[in-house]
Structure formats: C-alpha cells, structure tokens
Chains A and B, each alone.
Chain A
Amino acid sequence: MMRSTSRGNSLWNKVWPLLFWLAVWQLGSVAVGQEILLASPAAVSKALGRLATAGLFWSSIAGSFGRISLGFLLAMVFGGALAAASHRFPLLETLVRPLMTGIKSTPVASFVILALVWIKARNLSVFIAFLMAFPIAYTNLLEGLSAVDSKLLEMAKVFRVGKLRQLLYLYLSQLWPFLVSAASLSLGLSWKSGVAAEVIGLPRDSIGEQLYQAKIFLATDELFAWTLVVILISMAVEKLLLVLLRWAGRRIGGDV
C-alpha cells in the first residue's frame, strides 16, 4: 500500500508542475493576444497534429535522428578510444587536456561557423553533435579507467586471466556507470546543438530546416511544435538509451 501511494504521489509530482506551466503558457498567450508572438498550447497542438500527417515530418525527424545519433555514437567511440590511450600514456593525457578544455569552453556558434568552412552543410550537425559529446565521453571514461581497481588488475595478472575476460569483468563492469553518466550528460546536449547546427547548415530532411522554415514564414505555432518535437525525441532517446545501457550493464559481469 505504501509503495503504491508513494508511486502515485511521484507521478502526481511530475504531472502537476507540467499542468501549472501549461496554464502559465496559456495565460501568457491570452495576455499577449497575438498567436504570432506567443502561440497558445492549443494552437501548438493543432499545428503538431497537422505536421504529423505530412510525410516531411517523419522524414525530417528520421534525418535529424540519424545525423545526431551518428555524431553522438562517434563521440562515444572516439572519446572512449582516446580516454584509453590517455590512460595508457599519461603524456597524451597532459597533451589532450587543454584541447578538451578548449572544446568545452568554445561557444557552439563559433564551431558551427568554422565548421561550415571546413565541411559540407549536411554533415554539420553530425560534427557538432560529435563535438559536444566528445569531451564529456572522454572525461567520464578517463575518470572511469582511473577508478578501475589496480589490486584486482594485479590479482588477474597473478592468476594469468585472459585479456578478454579482464576487459569484460574488470574494465567494462567498472566503466559502465561512467559510460551511462557520459551518455546521460551528453545526449541532450548533442540534440540541442545538433538541431542548432541544422538551422544554420539547413540540410535536407532535418528538423533544423523545418524550424528555419517556420521562422521565415512566421509560423510561430509550428516553431513551437517543432521545438516540442525536439524536446520529446531528446527525452525519449535518452530514456531508451539509459534503459539499454543499464540492461547491458547488468549482463556484463554475469556468467563467467
């Protein structure tokens, strides 16, 4: 009984602030009185319904999802590889440290403008999503590698445990929480900056292009609707990824 009550409360605690802010939004829209300046929740819902019936809506989502996910995954892979190399060679870690600080501190807009000079517009969001997630993946995984228990590594050396088994049971099992944390921290950032890059690069079949079109035609309701789509997709992808990673984490360190 206690559990169900507490779960009920927890659900209500998620819903009521949402309702509150929806009401504030509605009141704000009524007060402004011009949908072009502040579209109402009802108008945004209607626009969303209208957009969802068009093929372009889904192809734009698929395009953005593909590009941003690719950038994010590349960041995880290369961030992990560089973290492993830095862990192995401390000199490399010293060399890379200012680079990571630089990437983290540089405004996304600077990267977007610079990158437009270097790479094709359709690949811009891949690069920007990569760049936002890369230092987070690197830093978290490097920290994770430092946290691997050296006494367990010694034990594995004494007992001549194979490299693959060491990787699975000593490294991956200890690294996993750091990977989950890196994914959680960087996925939302990749989505935000990836879509921003699309608005500038305007690749075909992208949410960024649709946002830009909505802005040009002063379709505020559609602008809000696309923004809502970005928020919902980002949240859904993050939840799904974390569920997958946690499931995989439970499998790692299972049967020897």
Chain B
Amino acid sequence: MDILLTDLSKSFGEKTVLSHLSARFPQGECTGVMGPSGRGKTTLFQILLGLTPPDSGKIEGLDGLRCSAVFQEERLLEGLSALENVAFVLPRGFSREIIGEHLLALGLGGSESLPVRELSGGMRRRVSLARAVLSPSDLLLLDEPFQGLDEATRQKAIKYLLDHRAGRTLLLITHNPADCQGLGCQQLLDLGAQ
C-alpha cells in the first residue's frame, strides 16, 4: 500500500516547517526528499516515524508498517561495538555471522568488535546504515545516510543498499541529487518548492 500524506502541516512556535504538504510514496519504490536546510525534511522524517505528531493533516498507509531508519545523528550506544549496536535492534539469537557479513560489505571488516566511540564519523554512519538495513522492516527512512563518506565508500554504501533493499519502500533525505540517482529513486519530493 502506498503512503499518502494529505495537507500535512507542522510548526514549532512561530516557525512553520511544513505547510499543507501532500505527497504519495509508492510502495516498494524509492522517493528522494530534497530541499534546502530548515524546510522540514527531518521533521517529515520524524512525523513518519511517529516521533513527532503533525499539527494537522492526514497520513494513510503507515498503519502496521515496520519502519527502520538512519537518523540524522547515528544514535549508537557508545559503549557497545558495531556488531552489538546492530544486534541491539535485532531479535535475540540473530546470527552474528550475518551481521559481520553486512559490516564487511560496508568496509567495516576488522572494526566490528571495537566500541563505536572509537570509530570515525564515516564508520559510525555505516554502522547505523547496517542497523537500519538488517532490522526487519517494510519502510526504510534514510536521513542523509552517506554524510561524511568519501566517494569510494559512498559508492560501496549505495551498492550495499541496492543489494539489500529487498523491495522495501525507501525514503531518502539528501542534499545530493547523485544519491537519488545512485539508489534509482523513481520520484523526488522537493520541499524547497513548497
């Protein structure tokens, strides 16, 4: 089922960040969400995740959907390793080998047992990407998932996402049109044009 937003608005005090936004995110497709900073990309993301309620408007098609996400900040448990951070969101007993393979595919081989506080920004980003991809979900929300990655690693991360997307609906917040292109986003939502 497609996700349908109708007339969605959200303000923080005097500042309106989303104003009467309507959009459709087709099931199983990738939608790129673009726009300048402060135009409500992350707010939309928070609303879709159920973390912030909209002031008005309607969202259809989200009920019963399992979401996973790459947040704007990594939101990792600093004392745990990369492997443990991913295992934290997975069912008990989930294969460590599979988690290790995913981390390896993202170029994190050899770092999976280190506490994430010792990892670089780009490595942490990839841990949060593996966590989102491995979590059983129907909708993947990615907020700047390739931030801080060099070109080669970005390509590797894009390939990893394409390999493991498994038909899930994908929502990609980015400033870089090449990210949308790389992931084959069929449509773009430009919040700058609101």
Residues of A within 8 A of B (CB): 151-152, 154-161, 165, 169-170, 173, 253, 255-256
Contacts and interface: CB of A to CB of B under 8 A. Distances in A.
Interface string B49-68: 11100000000000000111
B71 A155 contact: yes
Closest 8 CB pairs of A and B: A159-B89, A155-B75, A256-B87, A256-B84, A253-B79, A256-B88, A158-B49, A151-B75
B69 interface: yes
A253 B80 contact: yes
B135 interface: yes
Contact of B51 (A152, A154, A159, A253): A154
Contact of A253 (B49, B73, B77, B135): B77
Contact of A158 (B51, B77, B87, B88): B51
Interface string B69-101: 101010101011000100111000000000000
A155 B89 CA distance: 9
B88 A161 contact: yes
B67 A158 contact: yes
A173 B89 CA distance: 17
A241 B21 CA distance: 57
B68 A158 contact: yes
15 contacts: A151-B75, A155-B71, A157-B51, A158-B49, A158-B51, A159-B88, A159-B89, A159-B131, A159-B135, A160-B66, A160-B89, A161-B88, A165-B88, A169-B80, A255-B84
Secondary structure at the B interface, as helix, strand, loop or mixed, is loop
Interface in B5-56: 49-51
Interface residues of B, number: 19
Nearest to B77: A169
A159 B79 contact: no
B68 A159 contact: yes
A165 B88 CA distance: 8
A137 B81 CA distance: 31
Contacts of B50: 157-158
A204 B51 CA distance: 59
A160 B91 CA distance: 10
Contacts of A155: 69, 71, 75, 89
A154 B141 CA distance: 14
Contacts of B49: 154, 158
Contacts of A151: 71, 73, 75
A253 B51 CA distance: 25
Contacts of B131: 159
Nearest to B84: A256
Contacts of A165: 88
A82 B135 CA distance: 35
A166 to B, nearest CB: 10
Nearest to A255: B84
A154 B80 contact: no
Contacts of A173: 77, 79
A151 B66 CA distance: 19
A223 B141 CA distance: 70
Contacts of B66: 160
Contacts of B69: 155, 158
B89 A152 contact: no
A253 B75 CA distance: 16
Given A155-B75, A158-B50, A256-B87, 15 more contacts: A151-B71, A151-B73, A151-B75, A152-B77, A154-B75, A156-B89, A158-B51, A158-B68, A159-B89, A159-B131, A169-B77, A170-B77, A253-B77, A253-B79, A253-B80
B131 to A, nearest CB: 8
Nearest to B128: A155
